[in-house]
Amino acid sequence: MSDYNVIAGLKIKYLSSDPSNPENGQVWYNSTTSKLRVAGILGTGAWSSGGNLNTGRVGNAGFGTQTAAVSAGGYSGTSSVEEYNGSSWTDVTSLPSGIDSAGSCGTQTQGLIFGGQTPGGPNVNTTLKYDGTNWTSVGTLNTTRRDLIGAGTQTSALAALGAIDPPFTTATEEYNGSSWTSVNSANGPARRSAAGGGTQTSALAFGGYGPTYTAATESYNGTNWTNVTSLPSARGVLGGGGTSNSDALAYGGYTGSYLATTNSWDGSSWAAESNLAVARGTKFGLPSAPTGAQLYAGGNPNPAGYAATEEFTVPVGTANITSS
């Protein structure tokens, strides 16, 4: 085997040293060592403690990344919003009114929340966008509901499942930045309190309750939902997120007791990961962030909602790319 040191026809970034925090799959040429390098996952992921929320909460919507996240609303009628910078939370502009159990997606400066419920009900169909400073109303869901999943971006979002009081729904809608369009429904079971993530054309929904806890997992390709391998065990009120229908993380939840269980999805099967330090359930997650950079904040069974935040990371190492 010999190391590549000449790459023809490819544009590879030249660096004098390896990057300190490379992303999985990142490739570069180290001009000091004259080696072509690639970053790859080493082993399984683990949870570590992050900075606590300023206000403990349950039913809070989450979006963004592990180092630039947003927690919005929650039970007890809170309208408060906090931003996370990778180490601590800061209170920022509140929602126009109290809301919990909303769907969400996007980034810290281009976020979206939709649906949910006002304090004690009723459910709402409101859609609000966040620009990093202010919240603006930008349309309404066709199916009014709470405890739904979200995926995608501020201008290309997906909403699915949820509770419409008292029944549950499989309804799915796509958002184009100004309006929602109803598309093919999920296969079921109809349920609320599932988790999910991905994009508008490549999403995953897993777990939930309706009217029993389920392990069902469904994959969305931009047109249809397909039932795929179920979670190892049934649970609802769980967190989750991921970048596509082949990259997801499920964590926490409830099925008669609160759980610390964590599982990763690779497009065909679920694998066990390290447990959360605090067993709990809340719908908070980062629906558009990578599996190896998720965040869990808030949750039951603390009646006031936990303030604890945990960060899930997967170690990434580097190796030379060689040829025979």
- The answer on 282 and 217 residing in a single domain is yes
Of the candidates 237, 248, 239, 293, which has an alpha carbon nearest to the alpha carbon of residue 270? 248
Tokens 């229908």 -> residue: 245
- The answer on 137 and 68 residing in a single domain is yes
Would residue 20 count as lying in a domain? yes
Would residue 291 count as lying in a domain? yes
pLDDT at position 4: 45
- The answer on 237 and 154 residing in a single domain is yes
Those residues with Cβ within 8 angstroms of residue 145's Cβ, 6 or more apart along the chain or in another chain: 115, 123, 125, 162, 163, 164, 169, 171, 192
Of the candidates 216, 114, 189, 225, which has an alpha carbon nearest to the alpha carbon of residue 159? 114
- The answer on 201 and 145 residing in a single domain is yes
Of the candidates 133, 84, 132, which has an alpha carbon nearest to the alpha carbon of residue 293? 84
- The separation between the first and the last C-alpha atoms of the chain, rounded to the nearest angstrom, is 5
Would residue 126 count as lying in a domain? yes
Would residue 324 count as lying in a domain? no
* DSSP H/E element including 151: strand 149-153
173 contacts 186 by C-beta, under 8 angstroms: no
Would residue 321 count as lying in a domain? no
- The answer on 53 and 33 residing in a single domain is no
Would residue 75 count as lying in a domain? yes
Alpha-helical (H) ranges within the chain are none
pLDDT at position 162: 98
- The answer on 77 and 34 residing in a single domain is no
Give 10-residue mean pLDDT values along the chain (324 residues).
49 81 74 79 81 95 97 90 98 96 98 94 96 98 98 98 93 98 97 98 97 97 98 98 95 97 95 95 94 93 89 76 55
- The answer on 120 and 73 residing in a single domain is yes
Longest Cα–Cα distance in the chain:
66
- The answer on 192 and 116 residing in a single domain is yes
Would residue 319 count as lying in a domain? no
- The answer on 135 and 97 residing in a single domain is yes
Query: Which residues constitute the domain of residue 30?
Result: 2-41
CATH assignment at residue 266: 2.120.10.80
Domain count along the chain: 2
pTM assigned to the model: 0.87
